[in-house]
Amino acid sequence: MSKTTLIKATGIDRYYGNSHAVKNLDLELNVGDILGFLGPNGAGKSTTMQIISGTLAPDAGQIMINGFDLVEQPTLAKQQLGYLPEQPPLYKELTVNEYLHYCAQLRNINKDSILSALDTAKQRCGLSDVGQQLINSLSKGFQQRVGIAQAIIHNPAVIILDEPTVGLDPIQIQEIRQLIIELGQHHGIILSTHILPEVQAVCNRVQIIRQGQLVFNSDMSSIEASHHNQQLELQFKHNADASLLENIAGILGVEKISEQLFSIQLCEDEDDAARAINSLLTTVIQQNWGLVRFSPGVRSLEQIFIELTTSDSNNSDQSDAGLTAKETAA
């Protein structure tokens, strides 16, 4: 395990009775990572997060947290972790200060250091002005901030956040995402979620699981860099006629996003694709549609996610995706 590796989990297995919820799963988190851990409902995300946070025992596998084995050295390993479960563990009848003080004690923070730990956590989570308020009286967004504050009270190397924005309004969601990005400058973060835009907004790496198995593992930058070649986005000033584009040789498909916005799928062959682009531009100019944008289309994480989690095949070799997909042993 290198010095930059914060979590290295290998071969995690977990059964509930006969149900195989997590299958031979590997997960790695490095310094500077905000890892999006994605999967449809029931894929095994929460089970994996509980295992990695040390709240649920795996049936097999090894989990190293910042150099400590979670099974062999649980106390030391758990000191490296802050965890916000899907249901935040809040005592709502306490004030923010009382609750965080209690969490600091649970984390064995030295008596003399508790006040500064509280101040730091509150300041980092934007809670400095609400320390005296009952948690119950706070908005859901602020309650979630308190949940995050308890996860960072002991300044852990790793923070695990399980669905941290579920149930929040759009402004609260933006605020929590911004907070996660800021925390990512000092901690490695795993963000378990099924909300794809969230991963696109805050993560630099993504892993997708399906039926307990890892089916995708990639840097976000690789996703953004790939699939520029075969897709184009065209925007016009005036309404355009998609059928004139569909008939051009080398254009495999035209998706009409609006009367003026189109996504064009080109063929794989580079020469044919180049000829198709020439014809496309000629048509656009002849028709005088007023081209205002002509850009490579980016295959979205959403498309990748849907392909990987809805296809019939369990084979995780997504070579057609052209991305770093990881085949896991069944």
Interface residues toward ligand ADP, by CB under 6 A: 16, 19, 21, 39, 41-47
Rounded to whole angstroms, the Cα distance separating 74 from 89 reads 20
Q: How far is the CB of 112 from ligand ADP (least distance, A)?
A: 39
Question: Nearer to ligand ADP by C-beta: 209 or 232?
Answer: 209
5-16 sheet: strands from edge to edge: 19-30, 5-16, 60-65, 68-69
- Any idea of the CA torsion for 58, 61, 65, 67, to the nearest 10 degrees? 140
Please state the length of the chain. 330
Question: Nearer to ligand ADP by C-beta: 15 or 91?
Answer: 15
Q: How far is the CB of 309 from ligand ADP (least distance, A)?
A: 11
Q: How far is the CB of 258 from ligand ADP (least distance, A)?
A: 34
Question: Nearer to ligand ADP by C-beta: 45 or 78?
Answer: 45
Question: Nearer to ligand ADP by C-beta: 166 or 181?
Answer: 166
- A 10 A CB-CB count for 290 gives 12
Q: How far is the CB of 25 from ligand ADP (least distance, A)?
A: 11
Report whether 62 contacts 11 (CB < 8 A): yes
Q: How far is the CB of 199 from ligand ADP (least distance, A)?
A: 14
Nearest to 36 by CA among 134, 144, 180: 180
Question: Nearer to ligand ADP by C-beta: 17 or 170?
Answer: 17
Rounded to whole angstroms, the Cα distance separating 54 from 73 reads 11
H or E segment at 25? strand 19-30
Positions of E strands within 92-226: 158-162, 188-193, 205-210, 213-219
Dihedral sign (CA 189, 190, 195, 199): positive
In degrees, rounded to 5, the angle at the alpha carbon of residue 208 between the alpha carbons of residues 204 and 212 is 145
Q: How far is the CB of 19 from ligand ADP (least distance, A)?
A: 6
Q: How far is the CB of 286 from ligand ADP (least distance, A)?
A: 52
Question: Nearer to ligand ADP by C-beta: 22 or 168?
Answer: 22
Question: Nearer to ligand ADP by C-beta: 193 or 230?
Answer: 193
Question: Nearer to ligand ADP by C-beta: 33 or 162?
Answer: 162
H or E segment at 179? helix 170-183
Rounded to whole angstroms, the Cα distance separating 232 from 297 reads 5
Q: How far is the CB of 178 from ligand ADP (least distance, A)?
A: 25
